[in-house]
Amino acid sequence: MSARLEIEGLTHSYGGDEPALSELTLSVEPGELVALLGPSGCGKTTALKVVAGLLSPTHGDVRIGGESVLGVPPERRGAAMVFQKSLLFPHMTVEGNVGFGLRMRGVPRGEARGRVERALKRVRIEGFAGRKPGALSGGQQQRVALARALVTEPRLLLLDEPLSALDANLREGMRELIKEVQREGDHTTVFVTHDQEEAVVLADRIALVTGGRLRMYDHPEAFYERPLSREIAEFFGATNFLRGQARNGCVETPLGTLRLEHPAPPGEVTLTIRPEAVRLEGGENSFSARVRGVTYLGTQVLYGLDVSGGVHLRAALPPHTRLAVGDEVTARLPAESLWALADGETTPG
The correct answer on CATH 3.40.50.2000 for the domain covering 5-225 is no
Helix (H) or strand (E) holding 251: strand 250-253
Q: Give the pLDDT confidence score for residue 342 in this predicted structure.
A: 64
Q: Give the pLDDT confidence score for residue 346 in this predicted structure.
A: 41
Q: Give the pLDDT confidence score for residue 348 in this predicted structure.
A: 33
The model's pTM: 0.88
Q: What is the pLDDT along the chain (349 residues), one digit of tens a residue?
A: 689 999 999 999 998 778 999 999 999 999 999 999 999 889 999 999 999 999 999 999 999 999 999 999 998 999 999 988 878 898 999 999 999 888 888 888 899 899 999 999 988 888 889 999 889 888 889 899 999 999 988 999 999 998 887 777 778 888 888 888 888 888 899 999 999 999 999 999 999 999 999 999 999 999 998 999 999 999 998 889 999 999 888 999 999 999 999 888 888 999 999 999 999 999 999 999 999 999 999 999 999 999 987 899 999 999 998 899 999 999 999 999 999 986 544 433 3
Can you tell me the distance from the alpha carbon of 151 to that of 1, in angstroms, rounded to the nearest whole number?
13
Can you tell me the distance from the alpha carbon of 309 to that of 242, in angstroms, rounded to the nearest whole number?
11
Q: Name the 3-class secondary structure at 62.
A: strand
**DSSP 3-state percent helix, strand, coil across the chain (nearest 5):** 30, 30, 40
Nearest alpha-carbon partner for 220 in 239, 199, 194, 190: 199
Q: Name the 3-class secondary structure at 71.
A: coil
Pick the CATH number of 232-341 from 2.40.50.140, 3.10.150.10, 3.30.470.10, 3.40.50.10800: 2.40.50.140
Sequence ranges of the domains in the chain? 5-225, 232-341
